[in-house]
């Protein structure tokens, strides 16, 4: 048996694992019913202690503010974030709208320290503001998720090749919105979707219920990026045509071991195609017709590997 080892390029654990908190108490909010499509998402946020378990209402149809987002994200990400280290070079954030006595200060400070959420300059002054009471927009959400998990951004050519249509973020050749590339990446990964008219409305505020649902959509248990170009080369070494190899990888959209999500070139590497997948468990995937199988396992550093071998 010939074995070929393919290393993991990037491993990301996105936001929430739907297996946790399965036996937790039901949602208690008066304004969230079990028939609401956001009910499971709200319950999960409660299970993760990312939102208050004492307030009577969730206010699902109100805009979520940047301050509220800072609290939820920090609590949800928690051990994935570095603790703030104060020094002669870093004294903490100094936003004009976030005094150190503000309830959101420690969350905003931690996200800033980790490079996930930042503020903006006020007019022509040297002052900075966070926009603590401003609503979070869809574009800002995309940027936050990309930064939080270092998700590789899709190239415009790859986005077009994947079937992108003209919209308010993409004119058919170029991204036309400051958040266009981030939104396009999350759309490719199935984390965000557009409206019925094909647009994404990056400047539109997100409702609290929508934000909850988008976070759960971002959950892939463990979204992992493999070097698809390398995988295909290993198929070729076993005598399998490159197009057939790609077809086999893309056929794993419902596989119980490794679920294929998307393939795309990211902006860091010109000739490399990444394959985004959810690794559900260790195991083997057998392609009987071409007498090849994939062995999915973890290495000594707890990173996922795919071994391409003859069956």
pLDDT digits over 128-138, tens only?
999 999 999 99
CA distance 13 to 7: 17
Both structure tokens of 124? 């022509």
Class of residue 59 by CB neighbours under 10 A (exposed 0-12, middle 13-18, buried 19+): middle
Instruction: For residue range 68-101, list pLDDT tens digits in order.
Output: 999 998 998 888 899 999 999 999 999 999 999 9
Reported as a pLDDT band with limits 50, 70 and 90, residue 271 is confident
| Residues with Cβ within 8 Å of residue 150, at least 6 apart in sequence | 10, 12
CA distance 248 to 98: 52
Q: Assess if residue 303 is contained within a domain.
A: yes
Instruction: For residue range 160-217, list pLDDT tens digits in order.
Output: 999 999 999 999 999 999 999 999 999 999 999 999 999 999 999 999 999 998 877 8
User: What is the structure's pLDDT at 298?
Assistant: 94
Class of residue 247 by CB neighbours under 10 A (exposed 0-12, middle 13-18, buried 19+): exposed
Reported as a pLDDT band with limits 50, 70 and 90, residue 299 is very high
User: What is the structure's pLDDT at 14?
Assistant: 43
Check: CB of residue 164 under 8 Å from CB of residue 190.
no
Q: What is the mean pLDDT of the chain?
A: 89
Domain identity same for 165 and 237:
no
Indicate the angle between helix axes 66-77 and 138-149, nearest 10 degrees.
30
Contacts 24+ apart (CB under 8 A), 35-38: 36/60, 36/209, 37/213, 38/209, 38/210, 38/212, 38/213
Nearest to 82 by CA among 109, 100, 105: 109
CA distance 103 to 108: 10
Q: Assess if residue 246 is contained within a domain.
A: yes
- Locate tokens 């057939």: which residue? 244
In the chain, what's the furthest Cα-to-Cα distance?
68
Q: Assess if residue 120 is contained within a domain.
A: no
Q: Assess if residue 92 is contained within a domain.
A: no
- Examine the pLDDT at 5 and tell me if it is beyond 90: no
- Phi then psi for 181, rounded to 5 degrees? -65, -40
Q: Assess if residue 76 is contained within a domain.
A: no
The domain total for the chain is 2
- Phi then psi for 75, rounded to 5 degrees? -70, -35
Instruction: For residue range 40-75, list pLDDT tens digits in order.
Output: 999 988 988 999 989 999 999 999 999 999 999 899
Q: Assess if residue 238 is contained within a domain.
A: yes
User: What is the structure's pLDDT at 77?
Assistant: 84
Residue 191: domain span: 152-197
Domain identity same for 239 and 295:
yes
User: What is the structure's pLDDT at 221?
Assistant: 57
The mean per-residue pLDDT over the stretch 214-223 comes to: 71
Domain identity same for 249 and 300:
yes
- Examine the pLDDT at 11 and tell me if it is beyond 60: no
Class of residue 98 by CB neighbours under 10 A (exposed 0-12, middle 13-18, buried 19+): buried
Domain identity same for 234 and 301:
yes
CA 142 vs. chain centroid, Å, equals: 8
- Locate tokens 């995937």: which residue? 285
- Locate tokens 């009987």: which residue? 288
Q: Assess if residue 127 is contained within a domain.
A: no
Domain identity same for 247 and 296:
yes
């Amino acid at each position: 048996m010939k074995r070929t080892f393919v290393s993991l390029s990037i491993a990301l654990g996105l936001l929430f694992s739907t297996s946790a908190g399965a036996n937790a108490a039901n949602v208690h909010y008066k304004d969230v019913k079990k028939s609401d499509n956001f009910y499971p998402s709200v319950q999960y946020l409660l299970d993760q202690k990312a939102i208050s378990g004492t307030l009577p209402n969730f206010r699902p149809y109100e805009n979520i503010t940047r301050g509220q987002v800072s609290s939820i994200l920090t609590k949800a990400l928690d051990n994935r974030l570095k603790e703030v280290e104060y020094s002669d070079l870093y004294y903490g954030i100094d936003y004009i709208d976030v005094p150190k006595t503000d309830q959101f200060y420690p969350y905003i400070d931690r996200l800033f320290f980790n490079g996930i959420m930042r503020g903006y300059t006020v007019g022509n002054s040297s002052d900075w503001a966070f926009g603590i009471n401003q609503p979070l927009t869809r574009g800002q959400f995309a940027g936050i998720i990309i930064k939080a998990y270092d998700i590789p951004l899709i190239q415009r050519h790859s986005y077009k090749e994947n079937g992108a249509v003209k919209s308010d973020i993409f004119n058919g050749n170029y991204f036309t919105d400051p958040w266009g590339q981030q939104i396009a990446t999350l759309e490719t990964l199935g984390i965000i979707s557009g409206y019925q008219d094909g647009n994404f409305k990056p400047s539109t505020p997100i409702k609290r219920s929508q934000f909850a649902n988008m976070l759960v959509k971002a959950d892939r248990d463990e979204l992992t990026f493999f070097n698809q170009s390398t995988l295909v080369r290993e198929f070729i070494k076993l005598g399998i045509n490159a197009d057939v190899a790609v077809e086999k990888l893309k056929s794993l959209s419902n596989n119980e071991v490794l679920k294929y999500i998307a393939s795309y070139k990211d902006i860091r590497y010109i000739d490399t195609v990444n394959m985004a997948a959810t690794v559900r468990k260790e195991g083997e995937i057998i392609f009987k017709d071409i007498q090849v199988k994939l062995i999915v396992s973890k290495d000594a550093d707890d990173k996922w590997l795919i071994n391409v071998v003859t069956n």
